Chain A
Amino acid sequence: MTEPLAVRLDEVGFSYGDAGFRLTLPAWQVARGARVGVVGPSGCGKSTLLGLVAGELVPDTGAVEVAGTRIDQLDDGGRRAWRVRNVGLVFQDFPLVDYLDAVHNVVLPYRLHGALRLDAAVWDRAARLLDELGLAGKHGRLPARLSQGERQRVAIARALVTEPSLLLADEPTTGLDAANADAVMALLAQAVAARGMTLVMVTHDHRLEGRFDDVLHLSGGAP
C-alpha cells in the first residue's frame, strides 16, 4: 500500500519574471504527519518553495499536489479558498494585526474569507487554543501588551484555528536566540503532533535539523 502524501511536487520550475532566479525541483514528496525542514542559504528559494506549496505562487511548469488536490490547476480564488481550509501559515516575526486583541487575531482568517464561517464553535476553539498555548486570561489583550513570546503563540494559534492538515512555517526562528528558537520549535512540533498535522518549516538554522523527520537541502535554486 502506498504511503499517503501530504505534499507532492513533480518537475516543478518557477521563476520571478526577469529577475534571473529560477527554482527547479525534479521531485519532492512529504508524507502525511511528517515534520520536514527546508534548509539552505539566503536566496536559495526556501520561501518560494513554501509559497508554491501554500498555493500563493503558481509554478511555470510541473505539478503541485497538496492533500490530494492539484493546486497548480486552480484559479486564484480557488487556490485562496483551498488554502484557508487546508493550510496554516506561520510567518517570520509572527506578525499580528495590532488593533485586534489576541482572540480576534486568532479568528482573523474567518473574517477574511467567505469560505470560513465564524460561529460559536470557532470562538470556543480559539479560546481553547490560547489557553493551551499558555495565554489564559490574556485573550483580550492587544499585541502591544503582549510579550514577544506571547505574540508568537497567538500567531501559532491563528495558524491552527482553521484545523488545517498542513502547517507551513517560514523561518519562524529567525532573529531568536537559541533558547527561544528551541521553544518555538518545540511549540510547533507539539502542536502538529497533537493534531496529526504535517509540518513543513523553512529555516536556515542547521541546529534544528535534528528536530525534523526529513530535511530538504536547497542551494542556489535546486535541491
Chain B
Amino acid sequence: MSRHPWVLALRYLAASPGRTLVMVVGLGVALFLPAFTVVVGRLAQDRLLDRAEATPLVVGHTGNEFDLVMASLYFHGDIGDGLTYDVLDALTPYGTAVPLHLGYTAGGAPIVGTSLDYFDERGLVVAEGRHPAVLGEVVVGSQVAADAHLRPGDTLRSDQKNLYDLAGAYPLLLHVVGVLAPTGTPDDTALFCDIKTTWVLDGLLHGHETVTQRNAVAGVDDNLEASLGLFLFTEITSENLPTFHLHGDASVWPVSSVLVWPRDARAHDEVLGDLAVDEVRQAVRPVQVVRTILGIVLRIQELLASWVVLVAVSTSLFVGLVVSLSLRLRQGEITLMRRIGASRGTVVAMLGVEAVLLLVGATAVAVGLTIAGRAVLAAAVGL
C-alpha cells in the first residue's frame, strides 16, 4: 500500500487535535468498559481458583462450605470457632494440618492465628525481619505493611471486637517482627501470628499482675481468689511474658478451621471419607467449592455479556452515525479528490487508514485505562 493515504490520514487527524482526541477517547472508553469487565472477571476467577487449587482440603465445623472456604482461604467473613485444637491430632497423621484461628482484625486487616507450617505450605517468604517467635508478635502482609507504613519494630493494636463487651478481652498491642514478600494473594492483606496470640485476643490465655492478699477478694496464701479489678496486661513484654498462662486444657481451645495438605492421594481421600460421616466437622475441597461459585459468577457474566453485546451494537450504531455525518461533511473534499485523480479505492484506503489510526489510538486508551483500572483495583481490593 502506498504511503500517501497514511500521510493524508495523519494530516487530517493532526489538523484537528481536539476532534481527534474526542473520537479516540470516546472510542477508547467504549472499548475499555467491556474489555475491563472481562479482564477483571477473568483475573478474579484465576486468583480465586489459584488459591483454591493450592489448598487441597479445608476442615471446619459443619455448615456452609462456601463460608468455610471464603474465610479460610480468602479471610472473608467470620465462621466462628467451630473446632477445638485437638482436631489436629486427628488430622496430622494424614499430612500437614495447619490450624487457623480467625475473627480478629488490626487496623481493619485480618489477624490470622496459625502455625509456622502455614508459611511453608503457602510459600510465604519474610522479606524483612523474622517469623513470630513469642506471644504478641506478628508478621504483616506486604499490602498491610505498605498501607500502614509498618516495619519490624513497629507496633499496632488489635481492633476492639465489640465495643460494648466490657467483660471481653481488651485490644492487644502487637509487635511487628517481620514483613512478608508480596504474593498477589490474600496473604498480602493479612497479619499472621502464632495461634496462641489469638487465644490471648480471646482472653483465654492471659497475663495479669500477681494476686496478693491486697487485691484478692477471698482465699489465703497460694489459693487466692482474684478481684475483677485485677490488672490484665494488654501488651506482652519480656517482663510480663512469664505471667501469661491458660486455665484449663489447651486441646479444647478454639480453632476456626484447619488447612490440610495430605501426604498423598490416599490420605486425601481418607480425610474426606472419615469426615463424610462426622456430624460436627466437615472436610471440603476448596477447588470444588470455588468452581461452584465461579459457575454462578459465570452465568451472571454471560448475562452481562449479552448486555455488553447490546452496548457494542449501540456503540457501533453511534460510531456509524458519526462516520456517516463525517463523510457527509467531507463530501466536498472527497468529490474534489475523485475529480483530480483519486479512485474510489484510494478514497476508501485513506478513510480506512484514518479509522485504523483512530482504532489504534482508542485501543491504546482502552489498554491504558485497563492498566490504570487494574492498578486502582490492586490498591483498593488487592486484585
A binding-site residues for B, Cβ under 8 Å:
56, 77, 80, 83-84, 89, 91, 95-100, 104, 108-116, 118, 142, 158
Report the stretch among B295-303, B312-320, B332-340 that lies at the interface: B332-340
In the bound complex, residues from chain A placing their C-beta under 8 Å from that of B339 are: 56, 89, 91
A sample of 30 inter-chain contacts (CB < 8 A) reads: A56-B339, A77-B343, A80-B341, A84-B340, A84-B341, A89-B340, A91-B336, A95-B332, A95-B333, A95-B336, A97-B333, A98-B15, A98-B333, A99-B12, A99-B14, A99-B15, A100-B11, A109-B340, A111-B4, A112-B4, A112-B340, A112-B341, A112-B342, A112-B346, A113-B341, A113-B342, A113-B343, A113-B346, A116-B341, A118-B4
In the bound complex, residues from chain B placing their C-beta under 8 Å from that of A100 are: 8, 11
A153 to B117 CA separation, bound complex (whole angstroms): 86
Interface 1/0s, chain B 322-353, versus A by CB < 8 A? 00000000001100110111110010000000
Count of chain B residues near A, Cβ 8 A: 19
In the bound complex, residues from chain B placing their C-beta under 8 Å from that of A98 are: 15, 333
Contact of B15 among A89, A108, A109, A142 (CB under 8 A): A142
Interface residues of B in 4-18 (CB under 8 A from A): 4, 7-8, 11-12, 14-16
In the bound complex, residues from chain B placing their C-beta under 8 Å from that of A113 are: 341-343, 346
Chain A nearest CB, measured from B11 CB (Å) = 6
A193 to B11 CA separation, bound complex (whole angstroms): 35
Contacts A84-B340, A113-B341 given; 10 further ones with Cβ under 8 A? A56-B339, A84-B341, A95-B332, A95-B333, A95-B336, A99-B12, A99-B14, A108-B340, A118-B4, A142-B15
Nearest 8 CB-CB pairings of A with B: A99-B15, A113-B341, A111-B4, A112-B342, A84-B341, A112-B341, A95-B336, A109-B340
A108 pairs with B12, CB closer than 8 A: no
A100 to B14 CA separation, bound complex (whole angstroms): 10
Evaluate whether A97 and B343 lie within 8 angstroms (CB atoms) in the complex, with A104-B11, A114-B2 already known: no
A99 pairs with B16, CB closer than 8 A: yes
Name B4's closest neighbour in chain A (CB-CB): A111
A142 to B14 CA separation, bound complex (whole angstroms): 12
B8 pairs with A111, CB closer than 8 A: yes
Name B3's closest neighbour in chain A (CB-CB): A111
B16 pairs with A83, CB closer than 8 A: no
B341 pairs with A109, CB closer than 8 A: yes
Chain A nearest CB, measured from B5 CB (Å) = 8
A118 to B332 CA separation, bound complex (whole angstroms): 24
A2 to B337 CA separation, bound complex (whole angstroms): 37
B343 pairs with A80, CB closer than 8 A: yes
In the bound complex, residues from chain B placing their C-beta under 8 Å from that of A96 are: 336
A112 pairs with B332, CB closer than 8 A: no
Name A56's closest neighbour in chain B (CB-CB): B339
In the bound complex, residues from chain B placing their C-beta under 8 Å from that of A118 are: 4
In the bound complex, residues from chain B placing their C-beta under 8 Å from that of A115 are: 341
A99 pairs with B11, CB closer than 8 A: yes
A97 pairs with B336, CB closer than 8 A: yes
In the bound complex, residues from chain A placing their C-beta under 8 Å from that of B4 are: 110-112, 118
Name B10's closest neighbour in chain A (CB-CB): A99
Q: Which of A84, A99, A116 counts the most B-chain CB atoms under 10 A from its CB?
A: A99
Q: Which of B2, B12, B14, B340 counts the most A-chain CB atoms under 10 A from its CB?
A: B340
A77 to B341 CA separation, bound complex (whole angstroms): 10
A37 to B12 CA separation, bound complex (whole angstroms): 37
A39 to B89 CA separation, bound complex (whole angstroms): 112
In the bound complex, residues from chain B placing their C-beta under 8 Å from that of A116 are: 341
Name B2's closest neighbour in chain A (CB-CB): A114
A77 to B15 CA separation, bound complex (whole angstroms): 31
In the bound complex, residues from chain B placing their C-beta under 8 Å from that of A114 are: 2
Q: Which of A89, A112, A114 counts the most B-chain CB atoms under 10 A from its CB?
A: A112
Chain B nearest CB, measured from A223 CB (Å) = 25
A195 to B157 CA separation, bound complex (whole angstroms): 94
A111 to B12 CA separation, bound complex (whole angstroms): 14
Evaluate whether A111 and B16 lie within 8 angstroms (CB atoms) in the complex, with A56-B339, A84-B341, A98-B333 already known: no
In the bound complex, residues from chain B placing their C-beta under 8 Å from that of A77 are: 343
A112 to B4 CA separation, bound complex (whole angstroms): 7
Name B8's closest neighbour in chain A (CB-CB): A111
In the bound complex, residues from chain B placing their C-beta under 8 Å from that of A112 are: 4, 337, 340-342, 346
Name A76's closest neighbour in chain B (CB-CB): B343
Name A83's closest neighbour in chain B (CB-CB): B341
A89 to B95 CA separation, bound complex (whole angstroms): 90
A112 to B346 CA separation, bound complex (whole angstroms): 7
Chain B nearest CB, measured from A184 CB (Å) = 18
In the bound complex, residues from chain B placing their C-beta under 8 Å from that of A80 are: 341, 343
A108 pairs with B337, CB closer than 8 A: yes
Chain B nearest CB, measured from A156 CB (Å) = 13
Contact of B7 among A111, A142, A158 (CB under 8 A): A111
A114 to B14 CA separation, bound complex (whole angstroms): 24
Name A93's closest neighbour in chain B (CB-CB): B332
In the bound complex, residues from chain A placing their C-beta under 8 Å from that of B11 are: 99-100, 104
Chain B nearest CB, measured from A176 CB (Å) = 19
Interface 1/0s, chain B 206-226, versus A by CB < 8 A? 000000000000000000000
Name A96's closest neighbour in chain B (CB-CB): B336
Chain B nearest CB, measured from A123 CB (Å) = 13
In the bound complex, residues from chain B placing their C-beta under 8 Å from that of A108 are: 337, 340
Chain B nearest CB, measured from A38 CB (Å) = 18
Name A95's closest neighbour in chain B (CB-CB): B336
Chain B nearest CB, measured from A80 CB (Å) = 6
B2 pairs with A158, CB closer than 8 A: no
In the bound complex, residues from chain A placing their C-beta under 8 Å from that of B343 are: 77, 80, 113
